[in-house]
């Protein structure tokens, strides 16, 4: 799950590539590099500026700067290289998330062939790299890195040299037909100085169509400041991009008609907007995002939900024998809440599976079953594989995705976009809330004329409508949560407890803290505590208990759980309903959220947990937007 960019045009390539890598850094940031074709006869006057002169290229030399570390340090290295890679208008760039070979200068991309006239960047995993390494070694090739990716540049070189009259494109195509695994690649060569070849299988790639210039990237973020016209590559497609145009072909050389897509987000949406971190910005964006998710879909005056993406399939969904929800990480937590919602509102049996487990067990699924996959990025490899398996077995597959045009969105039968806008912070926040709102709207749409009366539906729609204001009210108390965080920033462990709809929120709160502050944290159903985790509790253990008031008995049960924690000297932070004074006597700290229907609680109680983890991570000086060892979209298994 690396970030790759490519450029061919009239601008100074290194400027465009660096900017692009900065925008893709959330995909991986342990090493980075750029390769350009310098001296290609097309000179540039200023960094990133348009060129004043254009002449048919007589070749040029590939120049590379790459190293361990993030994109900012690569930019410094480029400055120190005293124009080593300036004056070029064709180039490729990569920011890495290591899979094979540790983060280091030599494992950084781009990888070159021995004669230094081919440069390649790769996002994905080449599964048969070990065998190819041996084979190429037998042909005298030696390797400078431990990566799987490097075999591909040598394989292209080998085929290009071995097979007479083979051109650059065919050499790349041949090589791709030999490797197994996933790839998004960009390749350039000084032997074909006017050409950039890109291809994808399992890893995302999009081409930006400019005026006499072309951009390539893992997603649209680096492109929006230059063009809004893009072409998404499908699996097993290869594109040859030249200064005067591009062609897309299938891997077996059949030309493809590709539709142009207009990007629907602004540059501003992928900038920090005055916040210190993208994560904080995205937490505070949630009231607006919630309105965007519901706009035109929650029709209170008509007492109904309108979801265009599934409107023609509602009867099929209502008739489903069962709905199997598959996802990973935070999206899986949203799926758990979806189970509660769909079973309560629509009375359809729901199962929730980790996509990575679903794909390798012998899942019983088939015609009449519906698989619902949830993914913010729409590129998560395990979720993609789970949906492909379900399709093979004849199930209907619907998706809930945030990234428009993403692979999962395109491979499902139909689905619903969350419209949360670009989510840059690796720790998902606003996308989670948007997923839960979409699941609520889906459950209500499925319930109509089936299990809920019109009045009940209208009451539920009203609860949704009240959400943005309620969340704004919680965010107004962020200072209080900052003060509470101060008390717990040095904790080594945390326990999160919740019941019913709040159980998945306990899991989500624990995940947020883990992934950005590196504190070990576990979420548990509150009643499960006494079956083991209670052994962990002592005066060192902060226990976050989601204890919002409920109409049923569970609130009282949660209060008993709090008593059990206190009797072991655990430090209780309670998330409670405004006006609940009883709980103040039981907890060391109380964070209040507005009163609301039980099904709406996850969308209120998760907000303080997002902020708590953010402030603790910030106090511990963690890189909140680029947490160690993580990446925004996990495109490898």
| Residue 251 in tokens | 């891997």
> Closer to ligand AGP at the Cβ: 192 or 219?
219
- The DSSP code for 255 is B
- Annotated catalytic residue: which of 2, 186, 328, 401? 2
Site string for ligand AGP, 463-502 (x = CB under 6 A): ----------------------------------------
Q: Identify the burial level of 225 via C-beta atoms within 10 angstroms of its C-beta, where 0-12 means exposed, 13-18 middle and 19 or more buried.
A: middle
* Binding segment (CB under 6 A) for ligand AGP, from list 390-398, 422-430, 499-507, 599-607: 422-430
Whole-number Å distance between alpha carbons of 230 and 220: 8
| Least separation in angstroms between CB 344 and ligand AGP | 24
Q: Report 125-164 residues binding ligand AGP (CB under 6 A).
A: none
> Closer to ligand AGP at the Cβ: 595 or 637?
637
| Residue 238 in tokens | 């290869």
Q: What is the DSSP pairing of strand 414-417 with strand 396-401?
A: parallel
CA distances for 374 relative to 265, 329, 336, 461, angstroms: 21, 10, 11, 22
> Closer to ligand AGP at the Cβ: 329 or 500?
329
Which of 380, 433, 550, 610 lies at the binding interface for ligand AGP (CB under 6 A)? 380
| Least separation in angstroms between CB 504 and ligand AGP | 13
Backbone angles phi, psi at 24, to 5 degrees: -105, 5
What are the helix and strand counts (H, E) for the chain?
18, 26
| Least separation in angstroms between CB 69 and ligand AGP | 22
- Annotated catalytic residue: which of 201, 514, 618, 632? 632
Site string for ligand AGP, 39-68 (x = CB under 6 A): ------------------------------
Which of 123, 428, 440, 502 lies at the binding interface for ligand AGP (CB under 6 A)? 428
* Binding segment (CB under 6 A) for ligand AGP, from list 55-63, 335-343, 424-432, 468-476: 424-432
* Binding segment (CB under 6 A) for ligand AGP, from list 100-108, 123-131, 322-330, 452-460: 322-330
Confirm or reject binding of residue 396 to ligand AGP (CB under 6 A): no
Which of 377, 412, 517, 610 lies at the binding interface for ligand AGP (CB under 6 A)? 377
| Residue 571 in tokens | 């430090």
Confirm or reject binding of residue 426 to ligand AGP (CB under 6 A): yes
Whole-number Å distance between alpha carbons of 381 and 391: 15
8 A C-beta contact, residue 98 and residue 30: yes
- Residue 163's Cβ-side half-sphere holds a number of Cα atoms within 13 Å equal to 16
632 given a catalytic annotation: yes
| Least separation in angstroms between CB 636 and ligand AGP | 11
Confirm or reject binding of residue 193 to ligand AGP (CB under 6 A): no
| Residue 326 in tokens | 């598959």
8 A C-beta contact, residue 496 and residue 507: yes
Q: Prior bond to 440 cis, omega within 30? A: no
| Least separation in angstroms between CB 573 and ligand AGP | 21
> Closer to ligand AGP at the Cβ: 550 or 613?
613
Confirm or reject binding of residue 375 to ligand AGP (CB under 6 A): yes
* Binding segment (CB under 6 A) for ligand AGP, from list 72-80, 291-299, 328-336, 572-580: 328-336
- Counting residues that bind ligand AGP (by CB under 6 A) gives 15
- Of 465, 470, 464, 436, the residue nearest 594 (C-alpha): 470
Confirm or reject binding of residue 447 to ligand AGP (CB under 6 A): no
* Binding segment (CB under 6 A) for ligand AGP, from list 9-17, 326-334, 411-419, 483-491: 326-334
55 given a catalytic annotation: no
Contacts of 83 (CB under 8 A, 6+ apart): none
Whole-number Å distance between alpha carbons of 129 and 152: 8
8 A C-beta contact, residue 187 and residue 119: yes
| Least separation in angstroms between CB 258 and ligand AGP | 25
Which of 57, 113, 189, 330 lies at the binding interface for ligand AGP (CB under 6 A)? 330
Q: Which residues pair with 399 in a beta bridge?
A: 373, 415
- Report the residue closest to ligand AGP, judged by CB: 329
Confirm or reject binding of residue 427 to ligand AGP (CB under 6 A): yes
* Binding segment (CB under 6 A) for ligand AGP, from list 47-55, 227-235, 329-337, 548-556: 329-337
Q: In what order do the strands lie in the sheet with 369-375?
A: 350-354, 322-327, 369-375, 396-401, 414-417
* Binding segment (CB under 6 A) for ligand AGP, from list 215-223, 305-313, 421-429, 595-603: 421-429
Q: Which long-range contacts (CB under 8 A, 24 or more apart) does 451-460 make?
A: 451/345, 451/346, 451/347, 452/345, 454/303, 457/303, 457/304, 458/300, 458/303, 459/597, 460/345, 460/597, 460/599
- Of 577, 569, 518, 517, the residue nearest 543 (C-alpha): 569
Q: Report 515-554 residues binding ligand AGP (CB under 6 A).
A: 515
The position carrying tokens 């209080």 is 480
Whole-number Å distance between alpha carbons of 263 and 286: 22
The position carrying tokens 């749409």 is 445
| Least separation in angstroms between CB 325 and ligand AGP | 13
Confirm or reject binding of residue 412 to ligand AGP (CB under 6 A): no
> Closer to ligand AGP at the Cβ: 384 or 604?
384
In the three-class reduction of DSSP (H, G, I as helix; E, B as strand; rest coil), residue 81 is classed as coil
Whole-number Å distance between alpha carbons of 66 and 71: 10
8 A C-beta contact, residue 70 and residue 29: yes
> Closer to ligand AGP at the Cβ: 2 or 427?
427
> Closer to ligand AGP at the Cβ: 89 or 203?
203
Backbone angles phi, psi at 277, to 5 degrees: -135, 150
Which of 376, 433, 440, 598 lies at the binding interface for ligand AGP (CB under 6 A)? 376
CA distances for 442 relative to 172, 314, 346, 435, 464, angstroms: 45, 9, 9, 10, 13
CA distances for 310 relative to 172, 297, 317, 409, 438, angstroms: 40, 12, 9, 13, 12
8 A C-beta contact, residue 472 and residue 287: yes
The position carrying tokens 């960094």 is 47
| Least separation in angstroms between CB 407 and ligand AGP | 11
> Closer to ligand AGP at the Cβ: 147 or 376?
376
Which of 14, 31, 113, 331 lies at the binding interface for ligand AGP (CB under 6 A)? 331
Q: In what order do the strands lie in the sheet with 493-498?
A: 520-525, 493-498, 542-547, 571-577, 589-593
* Binding segment (CB under 6 A) for ligand AGP, from list 23-31, 92-100, 186-194, 376-384: 376-384
Q: Report 608-637 residues binding ligand AGP (CB under 6 A).
A: 633-634
Confirm or reject binding of residue 14 to ligand AGP (CB under 6 A): no
> Closer to ligand AGP at the Cβ: 11 or 23?
23
Q: Which residues bind ligand AGP (CB under 6 A)?
A: 328-331, 375-377, 380, 383, 426-428, 515, 633-634
Active site residues: 2, 632
């Amino acid at each position: 799950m690396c970030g790759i960019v490519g450029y061919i045009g009239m601008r100074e390539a290194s400027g465009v590539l660096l900017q692009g890598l900065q925008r893709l850094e959330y995909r991986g940031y342990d090493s980075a590099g750029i390769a350009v074709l310098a001296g290609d006869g097309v000179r540039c006057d200023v960094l990133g500026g348009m060129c004043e002169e254009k002449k048919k290229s007589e070749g040029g030399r590939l120049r590379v700067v790459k190293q361990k570390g993030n994109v900012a340090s690569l930019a410094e290295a480029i400055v120190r290289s005293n124009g080593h890679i300036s004056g070029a208008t064709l180039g490729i760039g990569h920011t890495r998330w290591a899979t094979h070979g540790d983060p280091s200068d030599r494992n950084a991309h781009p990888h070159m062939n021995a004669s230094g006239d081919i440069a390649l960047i790769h996002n994905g995993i080449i599964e048969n790299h070990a065998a190819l390494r041996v084979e190429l070694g037998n042909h005298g090739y030696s390797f400078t890195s431990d990566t799987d990716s490097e075999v591909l540049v040598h394989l292209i070189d080998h085929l290009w040299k071995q097979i007479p009259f083979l051109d650059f494109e065919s050499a790349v195509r041949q090589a791709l037909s030999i490797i197994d695994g996933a790839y998004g690649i960009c390749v350039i060569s000084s032997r074909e100085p006017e050409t950039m070849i890109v291809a994808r299988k399992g890893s995302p790639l999009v081409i930006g169509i400019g005026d006499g210039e072309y951009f390539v990237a893992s997603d649209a973020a680096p492109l929006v400041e230059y063009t809004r016209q893009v072409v998404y590559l499908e699996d097993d497609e290869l594109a040859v991009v030249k200064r005067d145009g591009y062609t897309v072909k299938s891997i077996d050389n059949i030309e493809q008609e590709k539709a142009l897509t207009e990007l629907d987000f602004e540059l501003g949406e992928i900038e920090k907007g005055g916040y210190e971190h993208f994560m904080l910005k995205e937490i505070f964006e949630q009231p607006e995002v919630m309105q965007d998710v519901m706009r035109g879909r929650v029709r209170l005056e008509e007492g109904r939900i309108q979801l265009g993406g599934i409107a023609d399939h509602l009867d099929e969904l209502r008739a489903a024998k069962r709905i199997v929800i598959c996802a990973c990480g935070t999206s899986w937590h949203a799926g758990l809440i979806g189970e509660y919602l769909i079973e309560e509102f629509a009375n359809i049996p729901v199962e929730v599976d980790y996509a990575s487990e679903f794909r390798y067990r012998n899942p019983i699924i088939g015609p009449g079953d519906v698989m619902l996959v949830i993914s913010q990025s729409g590129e998560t490899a395990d979720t993609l594989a789970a949906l492909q398996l379900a399709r093979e077995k004849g199930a209907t597959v619907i998706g809930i995705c945030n990234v428009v045009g993403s692979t999962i969105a395109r491979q499902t039968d139909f689905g619903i976009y969350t419209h949360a806008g670009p989510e840059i912070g690796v720790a998902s926040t606003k996308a989670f809330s948007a997923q839960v709102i979409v699941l609520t709207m889906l459950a209500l749409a499925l319930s109509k004329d089936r299990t809920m009366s019109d009045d009940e539906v209208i009451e539920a729609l009203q609860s949704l409508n009240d959400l943005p204001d309620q969340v704004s009210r919680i965010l107004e108390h962020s200072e209080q949560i900052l003060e509470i965080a101060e008390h717990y920033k040095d904790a080594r462990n945390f326990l999160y407890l919740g019941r019913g709809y709040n159980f998945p929120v306990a899991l989500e709160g624990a995940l947020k803290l883990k992934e950005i502050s590196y504190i070990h944290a576990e979420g548990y159903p509150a009643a499960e505590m006494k079956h083991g985790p209670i052994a962990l509790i002592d005066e060192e253990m902060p226990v976050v208990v989601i204890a919002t008031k409920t109409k049923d008995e569970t609130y009282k049960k949660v209060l008993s759980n709090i008593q059990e924690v206190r009797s072991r000297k655990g430090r209780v932070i309670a998330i409670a309903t405004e006006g609940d004074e009883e709980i103040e006597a039981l907890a060391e700290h109380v964070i209040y959220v507005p009163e609301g229907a039980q099904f709406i609680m996850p969308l209120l109680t998760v907000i303080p947990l997002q902020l708590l983890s953010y402030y603790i991570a910030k106090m511990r000086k963690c890189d909140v937007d680029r947490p160690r060892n993580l990446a925004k979209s996990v495109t490898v298994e």
